[in-house]
Structure 1
Amino acid sequence: MDLQRAVSLGQGPSFDSTWPATLVHQFENIVPDFPQNVAVKEVDGASLTYTQLAQKVDMIALELLHHKVNQGCRICVLQEASGDWVASMLAVLKVGAVYVPLDPSTPVQRLSLIAGDCKPAAILIHHSTQKQATELETPSGTPRINVSRLTKPSFDPIEIIAQADAPAIILYTSGSTGTPKGVELQHAALKHEFDICAATYALEPSDVVLQQSAFSFDLSVTQMFIALSVGARLCMILHVMWVDAHAIVQCIEKEGVTITDATPTELKSWLRRDHRPILQGSAWRLALIAGEAVTEPLLQLFRKLDHPGLHLYNIYGPTETTCCVPVGRASANEAFYIVDEQLRLQPIGLPGEIVIGGVGVATGYLNNNQLTKAMFLANPFASPQFVNRGWQRMYRTGDRGRLLPDGTLLLGGRIQGGAEIKLHGVRIDLGDIEQTILRAADGQLADAAATLRSTADGTLPFMVAHVVLTSLDLPCTQEQFHNNLLANLPLPRPMRPSMLVSIEALPRTVSGKLDRKVIEALPLTRNMSGSVNAETLSSEHQQIHADSDFFNVGGNSLLLIELQSKLRQQHHISIPLIELFQGSTLRSMASLLQIEVSNPGAQVDWESETTPQAGLAPPLLLDEVRSIALPPRVVVLTGSTGFLGQYLLRALIEQKQIEKVICIAVRNFDDHDKKLLRARNFIRLCLPRKIVLHYISTTGVTAYSTSDDDFPEISVRDTPNPPPPQTNDGLHGYVASKWASEVYLENVHHEHQLPVWIHRPSSIIRPDSHLHGDSPTPDILQNLLGYSRRLNAVPIMTGMHGTLDLVAPETVADNIVRDLMASSAVQLTFRHQSGDVELSFSELREYIQRETGGDVVDIPLDEWIRRAETIGLSTAMAAVFREMARLGARLRL
């Protein structure tokens, strides 16, 4: 009797769908009712009405039919966030094919695994993914259809071939073997899911739904169809903005977003204290929470937001059960069962594995019968109604939970996950530690993630927690806050972390979930700041001494430029920036000052600086040296804590062939190690085995060319030398150091045949938040665009001409790692990493206007700089812009 009651309590109410057979049918029913409603709005201002979207769908569907795409064929879609992507998905479904999303931010090697598994009949791309599509490994003859080039409309209606009992979508999820597994979802299950959503959430044509999730994540499907199935608007965020919480919050307010579907990790970043005033004035009414456990600290953040009329739904649910299943009571036509290890039903209140039955259960895993049989089972608990309607299978989730006497499901985490460790003989759930830290912080922390570490020799394990502050406005220093929090954690001493490390945000996977693998690789140095010069670096936490490294105590390239400027202004000493980069400890800087004082006015001998010294290549001690592995199994990475470095680290970790990534991230070594790790000593270590060296330069080095033509991917050795030290200010110093390093490495290659790859990123896209604070980005173009947005004004730059080039950090990292995996033994290669967004100076105002949606004016450069300085532009960056105007030369950014 108790078991029967458990079955009854775990079953949701009956629901008879009133929608037509598939979601494509529902979409086409909606179009005549709301022809002029905006269906898709992109953040840059481009939009499509329902009529225009339907026309684009038919145009793509017609092209698919011309390529002999039949019912059941699988079609991959590899596109950026745009109306093209939405239309492509609907077109695939309309012709009866199966939609397989390929997220362009995913490394091409992994996308090739997906394509190899599903064997697509075609791949739908557009302009921005053409290059990536050519690198995708697919069965021979697979056509790439560029939907951006389709202009011929379909004058005759295209018949809907989709059928209710046929597969509609294949979503690939992470597999335990490292190979993605494809989950097949049927049209009927999807239609039923969103019919219930429309009723449950009271969806209206006036709603605006945010689309910020990766296309490979099931949340993207939910986001699209809760909008397009009822005549509402889908507001699409460019993938480069997905990690920019401030930009997303501004979009929610500006675009009138009413509905979001996001992970708790995403929501925590949106709900930080400085975002509350923006969100409190927004139209946000419905927050769907999925992908991770909903915790009390997250609910506290929503309470502090105090947004009237905002409702939360915890829609726990794996992809295998069609996108979402609510925590709480079972949804209509679905059921929860709690079973033991032998799959026997558990009584009410007892914990066990959550198994889900009903209409939403997926078909299974594509090309993986063994796993399908293990996870998708015949449902012995199915009700007569389920049996009559053909819902006779259930899915094992691998999640722990229990049913309460009122039928509520309590979720308890994974049964077999990576969140349990053993430390000091005690079994510890890291989730328990994280939630305890958040509760004890009393609102001062937005997020926390604990990991198990060990000492360098591996003999002493210890626990570390990376935390995210809700605000830097603490009642004490950050270090004091960490120490007080650790001392007062309500945990037994063996369960307390050894240290807390504050970071700006916890890393996430492309699906928005906490990325524990990346967290385990994060450095353990706290965010420290010190004082090399009281006017350049603020002193707050760390005692500075002679061997303190400028970059390790809060310094960065921009502040180094400012320090160089102050030395010149106050002491009439000019030191080339490349020397300040190389000698970045206080002791080394002091030595540079002594040299400069004793030898004033010295010029840089570029030939001497870029000539490899004698004895650079040490004699080999062995007759034969073991050749290096290609592709490499071990990679040494410097700068892994920097902005691009973090993306490089993630891209390297995702490579199955790479067994180890060694991060050189701390510069305060003893004298022996400091010498060992200088750039030239790195080269000395690489030379005996001809280890391939990849160097990150900048496209700025091409500025010394006298030609107005676009500079090709070639050497800069024959371009004019950089200006002398007297003019090596904020504009020239950094670029000159990169130029010199390139030429030096090229000379090393020619003399010693060292394989060298030189990568020249253009302006790497950063969130606007990187332009402010104690360490603003030194990137010229980012500051130009960021402050132009904030001022609603662009500077008149007389005499300036050239191209402004933006590139996403993911693009740069993926391209570099792709080249690294394909590196040959002996070669010198130059790569320009650029081209995600290109515009001329004359297009700048129009570009900013499209982005902001408001009026943008042209003002003189001096006035633009003055206004920008009043809202945060640093004096060093202002000097850079003034020097640009003075030179009035061709600019390559």
Structure 2
Amino acid sequence: MTARAPFHVLSAAESTRMDGRYMELGERTLVALFKSAAARFSNRVAVTADDDELTYHELNRRSDLLAGRLRAAGAGPGTLVALLAPRSARLLIGVLGILKAGAAYVPVDPSYPQERIAWTVKDSGASVIVSTSELAEAVSGQGTDVVLLDHPATESADGTKPSVEGTTTADSLAYVIYTSGSTGVPKGVQVEHRNVVRLFDVTREQFSFDEHDVWTLFHSAAFDFSVWEIWGALLFGGRLVVVPLETARSPEALHELLRSERVTVLNQTPSAFGRLAAADARSAECLSSLRIVVFGGERLEPTALRDWIERHGDEHPRLVNMYGITEATVHASYRPLTASDLDTHGVSPIGDPLPDLIFHVLGDDTQPMAEGVPGELYLEGAGLARGYLGRPDLNKERFVDHIASDGTVRRCYRTGDRVVALSQGGYGYVGRTDDQMKIRGYRVEPGEIEAVLVRHADVSTAVVLPHDYGGGDVRVVAYVGSGAQAETLAPELGAAAAATLPSHMRPSAYMVLPQLPLTLNGKVDKERLPAPVAATTPVHVVAVDGPELTGTERRIAGIWQSVLDVPAVGSDTDFFDLGGTSLSLLRMFGQVNEAFRTELEITVLIDGATVGSLARHVDSALSTSTPTV
């Protein structure tokens, strides 16, 4: 079944034109197009960040200097360079410098456990690591050269401009982003320059991005939504505002940043936007500059947009849902959302495929499904990645040859997503064909978490499932079969997960059972697993020994127990050690402000989210006001 695409498909001439001039196909790289934008908009601000503000001229110059140092260190065409950098202007210098050297970048999130950082660098075979002085320790001992972004040769105006012209073509690798792996280890997705460039070619008509746009870099560079954010700004002469981590965690602070920086293009997972929309409803300030909000990363329920659309309408800003996966270069479909969608139930509307992609909705026998009948989505077209790094068996399994009805062989990516062709046009997302979960926009393979848990000598079996705690707060719950005591085993498993897995993959609760229920076929019967309720079943709770809680602390601890569904909370216990997530943290914080009639900003927890630290801020706020509590 092919797409019903209403868009204008670019001609060969149109698709090779950028910024008023023609390029040979081999020249249409991210580097070449960025340099074209830098030449046109030399004095315009390219990047705004806490640590610096760079014009296009300065970003171009400093990334040239870094490219020269990388070439001297051995990076070049066909090599991979790991990028471990904070949310800063230097991150963008790193991305561009690596690409200008002819290499591809492998983004590594600094918040990941050191073990995972080291594993990613080793698995990628990175020839060089680009980092900063404060983060370089995390990659020490790797036996790989480290090039520092804060080195004077990159910061100063001195240095010879490197000659890197002609080292990159459209077929060159641009980046490798690691996603969760079902076999217990992450997998690196290899994406070429042409994959990214054509993404912006085929979406230009729908979005009309230009030099007047202001984008946010909200997402981690290790999450492919960042690719859309970075190049959506830098290929068109726009300005990219790097969102500090503490701002990204606070809807109120993000709302203020969007207003003060006059952001025009915002990209959000539906869960993150829900928190921002709630902050917007409480704010007297209007986001008057915002013209487009793009949703991606997880399932969108249109009914969740009702309050926003009732306040703002559906034209300013425009709301667009874009289904996508890393293996198809960020986005694969386009669906404008309007007030008429608010009563949509069941499937999530994802619209039509982008003009150079084709959707095949197939059954178990790989035959096309009729309209209205769900099937697995096979993706075909120019957005498909080169494949997984060093995983030939997985490439054979997921990047498959599909024989079309006309007998032609098409290279497709087997997504594992269930979609349905809708009678009114476009497609709807139904769910997964396997156990893969979506946690805060990240794809999470349960098998990768389970592999960590079964390493423990006392664990015979482990199953990981998502559990919705309400309000879209989906957390990971681990069920383990063991004869050990939950009070002892759960903290040990929590420590193992914290040392190995990113925060979004760590279980929030550990249900320890003597044995897991099985089906007649000998598989774990997930339907019979108990709900993670603290009152009846042991969950992961760290020790709460310590001094007696103050009155304020007791009230806050009670809120934490309710939000996290845990039986006890200590004064110095970290919120995230109790299984908290970024969304549950916001729910908890809102309840604390409501209970004490305070107006604290969530940034007060930047140095530690404990009952004791929060109580001190609450007491301080109460001492300077006369609220009714």
Output the TM-score relative to the length of structure 1: 0.50
Which residue of 1 is the match for residue 168 of structure 2? Answer: 162
Which residue of 2 is the match for residue 411 of structure 1? Answer: 429
Which residue of 1 is the match for residue 56 of structure 2? Answer: 50
Q: Does 2:85 correspond to 1:95?
A: no
Q: Does 2:328 correspond to 1:325?
A: no
Letter in 1 for 2:375: G
- Pick the aligned partner of 1:447 from 472, 481, 486: 472
CA positional deviation for 1:169? 0.8
Letter in 2 for 1:412: V
Aligned equivalents of 2:303 and 2:280: distance in 1? 17
Question: Per the alignment, in what secondary structure is the counterpart of residue 271 of structure 1?
Answer: helix
Question: Per the alignment, in what secondary structure is the counterpart of residue 266 of structure 2?
Answer: strand
How big is each residue's C-alpha offset from its partner over 1:766-813, in whole Å with a ceiling of 9 and x where there is no partner?
x99899554699x9xx99x97xxxxxxxxxxxxxxxxxxx97559x9x
Question: Per the alignment, in what secondary structure is the counterpart of residue 203 of structure 1?
Answer: coil
Which residue of 2 is the match for residue 15 of structure 1? Answer: 10
CA contact (8 A) 2:380 2:412 kept: yes
Q: Residues 182 and 775 from structure 1, CA distance in 2 versus in 1: closer, same or farther, beyond 3 angstroms?
A: farther
Which residue of 2 is the match for residue 378 of structure 1? Answer: 401
- Pick the aligned partner of 1:518 from 493, 500, 508: 508
Which residue of 2 is the match for residue 174 of structure 1? Answer: 180
Q: Does 2:393 correspond to 1:645?
A: no
CA contact (8 A) 1:339 1:353 kept: yes
Aligned equivalents of 1:640 and 1:771: distance in 2? 15
CA positional deviation for 1:284? 1.3
Letter in 2 for 1:81: R
Q: Does 2:368 correspond to 1:366?
A: no
Which residue of 2 is the match for residue 344 of structure 1? Answer: 367
Aligned equivalents of 1:383 and 1:156: distance in 2? 53
Size of the alignment, in residue pairs? 500
Output the TM-score relative to the length of structure 2: 0.70
CA positional deviation for 1:364? 0.9
Q: Spell out the pairing of 1:34-73 with structure 2 (5 A cutoff).
A: 34-42=41-49, 44=50, 46-73=52-79
Aligned equivalents of 1:642 and 1:220: distance in 2? 37
Percent of aligned pairs with the same residue?
24
Aligned equivalents of 1:310 and 1:39: distance in 2? 23
Which residue of 1 is the match for residue 319 of structure 2? Answer: 312
CA positional deviation for 1:404? 2.3
CA contact (8 A) 2:66 2:94 kept: yes
Q: Residues 274 and 290 from structure 1, CA distance in 2 versus in 1: closer, same or farther, beyond 3 angstroms?
A: closer
Aligned equivalents of 1:69 and 1:411: distance in 2? 41
Aligned equivalents of 1:158 and 1:207: distance in 2? 31
CA positional deviation for 1:156? 3.6
Which residue of 2 is the match for residue 873 of structure 1? Answer: 621
CA contact (8 A) 2:5 2:354 kept: no
Q: Residues 179 and 53 from structure 1, CA distance in 2 versus in 1: closer, same or farther, beyond 3 angstroms?
A: same
Letter in 1 for 2:575: Q
Which residue of 1 is the match for residue 523 of structure 2? Answer: none
CA positional deviation for 1:198? 3.1
Calculate the aligned-residue CA RMSD, in Å.
4.3
Q: Spell out the pairing of 1:77-226 with structure 2 (5 A cutoff).
A: 77-134=83-140, 138=142, 140=143, 142-149=144-151, 150=153, 151=156, 153-156=158-161, 158-160=163-165, 161-226=167-232
Question: Per the alignment, in what secondary structure is the counterpart of residue 508 of structure 2?
Answer: helix
Aligned equivalents of 1:640 and 1:162: distance in 2? 55
Letter in 1 for 2:197: K
CA contact (8 A) 2:252 2:279 kept: no
- Pick the aligned partner of 1:282 from 275, 284, 288: 288
Aligned equivalents of 1:78 and 1:38: distance in 2? 24
Which residue of 2 is the match for residue 75 of structure 1? Answer: 81
- Pick the aligned partner of 2:416 from 378, 398, 408: 398
Letter in 1 for 2:381: G
Q: Residues 319 and 450 from structure 1, CA distance in 2 versus in 1: closer, same or farther, beyond 3 angstroms?
A: closer
Q: Does 2:175 correspond to 1:246?
A: no
CA positional deviation for 1:45? 6.8
Question: Per the alignment, in what secondary structure is the counterpart of residue 283 of structure 2?
Answer: helix
Letter in 2 for 1:374: E
CA contact (8 A) 1:263 1:291 kept: yes
Aligned equivalents of 2:575 and 2:286: distance in 1? 33
Unaligned residue ranges in structure 2 (runs of 5+): 334-349, 439-464, 484-500, 512-530, 536-546, 558-565, 582-587, 611-616
Aligned equivalents of 2:138 and 2:401: distance in 1? 42
CA positional deviation for 1:58? 0.3
Q: Spell out the pairing of 1:844-855 with structure 2 (5 A cutoff).
A: none
Q: Residues 383 and 162 from structure 1, CA distance in 2 versus in 1: closer, same or farther, beyond 3 angstroms?
A: farther
How big is each residue's C-alpha offset from its partner over 1:498-520, in whole Å with a ceiling of 9 and x where there is no partner?
xxxxxxxxxxxx999x8694377
Question: Per the alignment, in what secondary structure is the counterpart of residue 416 of structure 2?
Answer: strand
Question: Per the alignment, in what secondary structure is the counterpart of residue 100 of structure 1?
Answer: strand
Which residue of 2 is the match for residue 270 of structure 1? Answer: 276
CA positional deviation for 1:278? 5.0
Unaligned residue ranges in structure 1 (runs of 5+): 1-5, 421-429, 438-444, 459-509, 527-548, 560-636, 654-766, 787-805, 813-867, 879-893
Of the structure 1 ranges 150-159 and 195-204, higher mean CA displacement relative to structure 2 is found in 150-159
Q: Residues 520 and 419 from structure 1, CA distance in 2 versus in 1: closer, same or farther, beyond 3 angstroms?
A: farther
Letter in 2 for 1:201: F
CA contact (8 A) 2:78 2:102 kept: yes
CA contact (8 A) 2:476 2:509 kept: yes
Which residue of 2 is the match for residue 555 of structure 1? Answer: 553
CA positional deviation for 1:378? 1.8
Q: Residues 153 and 221 from structure 1, CA distance in 2 versus in 1: closer, same or farther, beyond 3 angstroms?
A: farther
Question: Per the alignment, in what secondary structure is the counterpart of residue 165 of structure 1?
Answer: coil
Aligned equivalents of 2:199 and 2:223: distance in 1? 16
CA positional deviation for 1:193? 0.6
